[in-house]
Amino acid sequence: MTTTLASSTFDALRLDAVADQEALRQVYDLPGDRAVRKQMAELTDQTRQLIACSSLVMISSVDAEGNCDVSPRGGPAGFVSVLDERTLAIPDATGNQRLDTLQNVIATGRAGLLFFIPGRTTTLRVNGRACISTRPDLLSQLTAVGKPPASALVIGIEEVYPHCPKSLLRSGAWQPEKWLSADAQPTSAEVTLAQLRMPELTIADIEQAEADSLKYRYE
């Protein structure tokens, strides 16, 4: 579900925003040859190994009206299955039941993936066609998250692109000494309570709901 709100700041900035790709290119150098050449349309042995090491993937999708979504998926390293050099399958573990990603894929048949490996600075981008499968013979193979899932997101690969490590190095994502202290941010329960805007609920209610959700995440 996407809610569109008027934003005076956005509207003001849009008035003189970059209007086309030619104008955008004028403020950047051309990409180097290697940055272009390393884009492929299928997996190599090395990119297969990266996927096998990944325990976290971000999935981007868009609905028929152009509303965008990015959602995380996690599991044991290798929970995303490589079916062949042009096909991946991601089991849909128990979540919030909104089905945002899955409904978007049904609407447009497209999705993009960004694989992360905790402690490593390499990320892997995979884009392509997408569909949702409930075939029992496929789902029976995808048990890394506890049991056969209700469905699987299947990606028909059109682009494979390994990113350089600059963004993760700049962020210090895997460097504990650069992490903010736990009290520097609101807790998950505090954020959820503010989003719900239901005065009858308390922090304790949300914390219990979160604990139950984690306890029964495979059911």
Model confidence pLDDT, tens digit, residues 171-184: 999 999 999 998 99
Residue 1 clears pLDDT 50, i.e. is over it = no
Chain center to CA of 164: 18
Query: What is the pLDDT at residue 93?
Result: 83
Structure tokens at 118: 């905790």
User: 217: pLDDT confidence band, cut at 50, 70 and 90?
Assistant: low
Model confidence pLDDT, tens digit, residues 81-103: 999 999 999 999 877 889 999 99
**pLDDT-above-70 percentage for the chain:** 95
Enumerate domains of the chain plus CATH numbers. 32-171 (2.30.110.10), 180-215 (no CATH)
**186: helix, coil or strand?**
coil
* pTM of the complete model: 0.89
Query: What is the pLDDT at residue 96?
Result: 83
